[in-house]
Amino acid sequence: MAVGIFDSGLGGLTIYEAVSKRLPDVPFVYYGDNAHAPYGVRTADDIFRLTCAGVERLWDEGCDLVVLACNTASAAALKRMQETWVPEGKRVLGVFVPLIEALTERQWGDNSPPREVAVKHVALFATPATVATRAFQRELAFRAIGVDVEAQPCGGLVDAIEQGDEILAEALVRSHVEALKRRMPKPEAGILGCTHYPLLQKTFQDALGPTVTVFSQAELVAESLADYLMRRPEFAGQGKVSKFLTTGDPLAVSDRATQFLRHQITFTAA
């Protein structure tokens, strides 16, 4: 048994890096659906179907707990999965809530009414599908009042990352940040609401400027998973060896993963 980590492709590796550092004794099985990435331009039904297929593959690996290290799947499919599909004894968690709790200065499980928070202007960068769900704004409204969110659908960015084209990816980040700043010139916080984007965190930070605090999910999700496993240790699994599965070409995906993470990651066919 191990903890499963699911993403449409390479982005979830940013979460894997943080959770494996925070929980070095927990084995992980990573599943990247690179053959079908990007998810961010797909319909909600399509995202639901592909995500269920990936999670089922992780269950076959003995992962009773799966983290959707993908905002697009968390926003477009997770609720439907939890309500209609996840069987007794299995758990599927998303990556949205820990980020919003950090932004709204809340501890896990604090369900008190929404209140004013320090940050007032938030720039959200996410895939077109995530932006279309408005899931981020909905979750935020449960916890905070008076926060203005401007969302930028970052078309093309996941594709460029999946293809290993760093130059194009950096150019796209700069143009998406510029487009957002035309609508919200002075955000206080920038949210990288797609797990692929922290692979370009420095470019986002440079384009946004030093006064903007950039929130990315990896460490926040790692902390919240550590907390979850302390309360539910039966989901942690045994052994130490992590494993990386892809629906894409394992050699090409391993090369790109190694390029972005700057250490060797070896994928095998899912």
Contact set with ligand DGL (CB under 6 A):
7-9, 11, 37-40, 70-72, 127, 130, 158, 194-196
Active-site position among 52, 63, 70, 154: 70
CA angle 216/114/205 to nearest 5° reads 20
Q: How far is the CB of 73 from ligand DGL (least distance, A)?
A: 7
Active-site position among 52, 63, 154, 194: 194
Q: How far is the CB of 135 from ligand DGL (least distance, A)?
A: 11
Cβ neighbourhood burial of 240 (10 Å; 0-12, 13-18, 19+):
exposed
| Closest C-alpha to 226, from 93, 54, 100, 103 | 93
Give 29-46 as a DSSP string.
Answer: EEEE-GGG---TTS-HHH
Catalytic residue at 70? yes
Which DSSP symbol is given to 251? H
Q: How far is the CB of 239 from ligand DGL (least distance, A)?
A: 27
Residue 17 to residue 106: CA distance in whole angstroms: 24
Alpha helices in 148-217 (DSSP H): 157-162, 166-183, 201-208
Catalytic residue at 194? yes
Between residues 122 and 236, which has the closer beta carbon with respect to ligand DGL?
Answer: 122
Q: How far is the CB of 211 from ligand DGL (least distance, A)?
A: 26
Between residues 237 and 248, which has the closer beta carbon with respect to ligand DGL?
Answer: 248
Structure-token match 């932006």, residue found = 131
Residue 93 to residue 268: CA distance in whole angstroms: 24
Between residues 41 and 141, which has the closer beta carbon with respect to ligand DGL?
Answer: 41
Between residues 2 and 124, which has the closer beta carbon with respect to ligand DGL?
Answer: 124
Give the residue numbers marked as catalytic.
70, 194
